[in-house]
Amino acid sequence: MTSTRADYDVWAATYDVVDNPIVAMASLALEEAARAWNGARVLELGCGTARNAPPIVAAGAREYVGVDASAEMLARGRARVGDEARVRLVEGDVSAAPREGFDVALVCLVLEHFERLAAPLAAAATALRAGGTLQVFELHPAWWHDGGRAHYVVDGQERAIASWAHDEAEFARALPEHGLELVVAARSWYAHEAACARSAKLRKRLGKPVLLDVVARRR
C-alpha cells in the first residue's frame, strides 16, 4: 500500500475540490445507512479526508474513529472536523484497525486498492464487537470493467491508482472466512437524477451501476 499512500498524499490537495462521481454516489448511500447508527461507535477504515464523519455524527453516532495511512488526507480531515468531541482521526494502516469493540465498521471506496479482501476484512472483523455491522461501499465491478478507476490529475497529468475489482461472489466467499455473514444480498446503486445533481460527471453513467453495497454482521 506504500505507493497508494503516496498517491493519496498528493491527491489530498484536490480530493474534495474536483467533481468525483463515485464519491457523490457513495455520499448518498452513506447518508441512508447512517440513519441506523444512532448511538453507535463507528470505525471507518480508510477515512481519507473524513468526509463521512459529519453525516455520521449528525445521524447520532456516539463516536466516530477514522483510520487512514495518508497523513495529508488526515490533515484535511482534521481541518474539516475541527474540535468535534465525538471524532477521532488516527494515522495507520487500514489492515491494522484498533481492536475496540465497535458497533459499526465502515469501509468506503477503499477495497479497490486491495488485490485480495482478506487483510481489510480481517481488520474490520477484529475491530467489531460480536453482532456488530460491517458496511462496505465499493466501486461497482461493472464500472471497473468499463474502465472506471480511482485517479487524479497533477501537473496536468492523469495518474491512476492501483485498482482491482471485487464482485458479490468474492464477498460471499471471503466474509465467512473472517467470522462475518451477509445480512442481505449485496445491493447495486445505479446512477439516478438525485445523484447526478451532486456530480455532473455522473450523468454519463445514468441508469448504470456505480456502487456495490455490502452489509455483513460479525458472528
- Domain containing residue 25: 2-218
- Residue 1: is its pLDDT beyond 60? no
- Rounded-to-10 torsion of CA 55, 57, 59, 60: 180
Residue 5 burial (CB < 10 Å; 0-12/13-18/19+)?
Answer: middle
Find the mean pLDDT for residues 189-212. Answer: 96
Tell which wins on pLDDT, 99 or 104.
Answer: 104
- The cell for 171 is 464477498
pTM: 0.97
Number of domains in the chain: 1
Task: Provide the CATH number for the domain around residue 100.
Answer: 3.40.50.150
Tell which wins on pLDDT, 98 or 110.
Answer: 110
